[in-house]
Amino acid sequence: MRAWRCREKDSQPELMQIDAGTPGPGEVQIEVRACGLNFADLLMIRGEYQETPTHPFTLGMEIAGVIRAAGDGVHLATDTRVAAFPGQGGLADYATVTADRVVPLPEGMDFDAAAALQIAYGTSHLALGHRGRLAPGETLLVLGATGGVGLTAVELGKLMGARVIAVAKGPEKEAIARAAGADIYLDSETEDIREAVKALGGADVVYDPVGGALGEAAFRACRREARYLLIGFASGHTPAIKPNHMLVKNIDLIGFYWGAYFHFRPKVLTDSLASLLGWYAEGRLHPHISHRLPLEQAMEGLDLLRRRAASGKVIIEP
C-alpha cells in the first residue's frame, strides 16, 4: 500500500510503498476513504508533538473508511463503514486500528464528514462542555475562529446557547464564521481585540487554539470568574498570562488535550463522540471542509494548514 512516512525527526515525509500488514487480536484493518489533516501532523513532522510516535511512522490521525479485515476478539463485521482515531497511520491506503477506537457511522454520513468530525468537534465539545462549563446566555470568545477546531467551537457554542464572538484574520473570513453561528465577528488584523471584546461586555469563556499576543489580548478581556481554555498554540507562542490577574478576577486557566482522554477517561471521550454523531444524524452539525485532495497531494494539504490558507478541515481521500 501507499503511505506517507516520516523516517526521522524534521525530515520531509515521503510517499512510499510499504506492507499493509494484517490486523492482530483486538484490531481491525480499515480501507481508508478519508483522512482529516490536523495542525498536530505538522508538529509530528518536526518531532514537537506531545505524542509523536517512534520513527519511522505514517502520518494521519483521524480517518473514515470500511473495515476489510478483523483480528481475533473483534465483533465489528467486515464491510462496516466506520470512523476511527488511530493517532497515526491514516495517510495511507489502509490503516490498522485497535477496535476500541472505531465507531460505526450513522446511515447517510459521508466519509469526509466523519473524518472531519472527530478531533475538531470532539475537542470543542469536551472543552466547552466538560471543561469550560459553558452555559446558555454566556459570552464565548473563539480565537482562530475559521480554523479546523475554531470553527467547530463557533458552531457548538451557538448550539449550546452562548453568544459567540468569533475572531479571525481578514474580512473575507467573516461570512464563514457567521455561517457557523457567530453573532459577532472581529478582524484581528484591524481591531484591538482586548478593547473590542471589553466594549461588548467581556468574555465568560475563551477558546484559544492560537496563543501568543492574541491570546494575551483575549485574556485581558475576560470577565470575572471567566474560564480560559488553552487548546493549542498555532501562533508558535504561548500567551504571557499573568497569575495575579487570574487571582484578582477569579479566572480559571484550563488546559485541554482531547487525545489524553483515551488514556485516563475513555468513556468521557466515547460518550462525547456518540453525542456528536447523533447530532450529525439529526442535521444539527455541518462540518466545513475547504479542501479535498488525493493522497498524492497530502503535503500540499499540510502546507495549507501551515500557511493558514484553509478554513475548517482539509481532507485527504486515498
Cα separation values, 294 from 138, 244, 297, 305, Å: 41, 50, 6, 16
Q: What is the pLDDT of residue 132?
A: 97
Mean pLDDT of 198-213: 97
Mean pLDDT of 42-63: 92
**Cell numbers at 131, concatenated:** 471543561
How confident is the prediction for the chain on average, in pLDDT? Answer: 94
**Cell numbers at 287, concatenated:** 462540518
DSSP-derived secondary structure letter, 99: G
Q: pLDDT per residue over 251-270, tens digit each?
A: 999 999 998 898 889 888 88
Q: What is the pLDDT of residue 51?
A: 85
Q: What angle do CA 130, 105, 16 make, to 5 degrees?
A: 100
Q: What is the pLDDT of residue 266?
A: 84
Cα separation, 17 vs 303, whole angstroms: 23
Q: What is the pLDDT of residue 248?
A: 95
pLDDT at 10 over 90: no
DSSP-derived secondary structure letter, 49: S
Q: What is the pLDDT of residue 207?
A: 98
Q: What is the pLDDT of residue 303?
A: 96
Domains present along the chain, CATH in parentheses: 2-105+288-317 (3.90.180.10), 120-259 (3.40.50.720)
Cα separation, 310 vs 306, whole angstroms: 9
Cβ–Cβ < 8 Å for 295, 16 = no
Cα separation, 32 vs 137, whole angstroms: 41
Cα separation, 263 vs 270, whole angstroms: 12
Q: What is the pLDDT of residue 311?
A: 85
Q: pLDDT per residue over 108-146, tens digit each?
A: 899 999 999 999 999 999 999 999 999 999 999 999 999
Q: With 0.75 as the threshold, say if the pTM is over it.
A: yes
Cα separation, 190 vs 270, whole angstroms: 40
User: What is the percent of the chain with per-residue pLDDT over 90, rounded to a whole number?
Assistant: 84
**Would you put residue 243 in left (φ > 0), alpha (ψ -120 to 50) or beta?**
alpha
